[in-house]
Amino acid sequence: MPCNCCEIEDNTFGEDKAKANLKDYRKRGPANQTKLILEAVRSLGLKDASLLDVGGGVGAIYHELLKDVVREATHVDASSAYLKVANEEAEKRRHIEKVKFVHADFTDVAAELPEADVVTLDRVVCCYPDFRSLLKAAAGRSKSAIALTYPRETWYMQFGFKAMNFFQRLRGDPFRVFLHPVREMESLLNREGFVLSSVRKLFIWEMALYQRTT
Ligand SMILES: C[S@@+](CC[C@H](N)C(=O)[O-])C[C@H]1O[C@@H](n2cnc3c(N)ncnc32)[C@H](O)[C@@H]1O
C-alpha cells in the first residue's frame, strides 16, 4: 500500500535511477557492498532458503542467491520504479515465479508477510528515519539471519551526509540520508534475539551479519 515514505522514495528512486542501477548490475554484477551480503548469506550454508529482501532495488541479491541458496524471495520496496524494473528483470532471468513483489513501507506490512530464513537490507536503513521500527520489523520476520549494509560511522561520512542533507533542504526535497548509530542498531537486534556474527568494512559501507540465537 503506497505510503508517505513511498512517495518520498518514489521521487528519490525513480525510473531513471532504477534503469541506471540495472545497467550497472548487468554490466558489472553486484556492487561491492552487495557482494559482502552475498558472501555472508552463503557462509550460513543454507539450501532452499526463503529470502525477504527489504528495499531490494533492482533485485541483485535474490537474482544471485536464487542460483544456489534461495528457493523463493519476497521483495518489499517503497519505490514503484525499482519494483517495476526488478519485475522486468525477474521475467528476463526466468525468476518471476520465484519472486513476490510488494510495494509498501516495510514497517507497515511486515506483520502480514511470511517469515523468511534470511532478511536482507542493502543500503536501506540509511534511507529511513526510524531505524528502530525497520530493524524490529526485520527481526520479527527473520527465522535465522539478517544481513544488512549501512554507511560507516566515520567523520567523512558524517560530513558527507550533512552536506547531502543540506543540499536536499535547499532544493526543498524531503528525502534525507541517515547515519544511524551502529551500536544502537546492534543493541536493538540483540534484544530481538540476534547476535552479530560478522562485520566487513569498505570505505563507505559496512556489512553486518546477525544470526538468531533464540
Ligand atoms: C539506496 S536504495 C538501495 C537499493 C538496493 N538495495 C541497492 O543496494 O542497490 C534504498 C532502497 O530502499 C527502499 N526503502 C527505503 N526504506 C524503505 C522501507 N521502509 N520499506 C521498503 N523499502 C524501503 C527504497 O525504496 C530503495 O529501493
- Per-residue pLDDT of 75-119, as tens digits, reads 999 999 999 999 999 999 999 999 999 999 999 999 999 999 999
User: What share of the chain has pLDDT > 70, as a percent?
Assistant: 96
Secondary structure (H, E, C), 151-164: ECCCHHHHHHHHHH
Q: Which amino acid is at 170?
A: L
Q: Which three cell numbers stand for residue 40?
A: 555472508
Q: Are 57 and 122 in contact (CB under 8 A)?
A: yes
Q: Is the pLDDT of residue 121 over 90?
A: yes
Closest CA to 117 of 137, 146, 96: 146
Give the pocket of ligand 1 (CB within 6 Å). Answer: 5, 9, 13, 21, 34, 54-57, 76-79, 82, 105-107, 122-124, 127-128, 134
Which of 1, 8, 9 gets mutated to test ligand 1 (max ligand atoms within 8 A of its CB)? 9
Q: Where are the alpha helices (DSSP H) in the chain?
A: 4-12, 15-28, 32-43, 60-65, 80-92, 106-109, 131-141, 155-171, 182-191
Task: Please give the DSSP secondary-structure letter assigned to residue 127.
Answer: G
> How far apart (Å, rounded) are the C-alpha atoms in residues 123 and 30?
13
Q: Which position has the grid cell 548487468?
A: 26
pLDDT bucket at 175, cuts 50 / 70 / 90: confident
Tens digits of residue pLDDT in 178-188 = 999 999 999 99
How many helices, marked H, and strands, marked E, lie in the chain? 9, 7
CA distance 158 to 29: 29
- Write down the pLDDT at residue 60: 98
The pLDDT score that the predictor gives to residue 119 is 98
Selection from 64, 113, 79 nearest residue 10 by Cα? 79
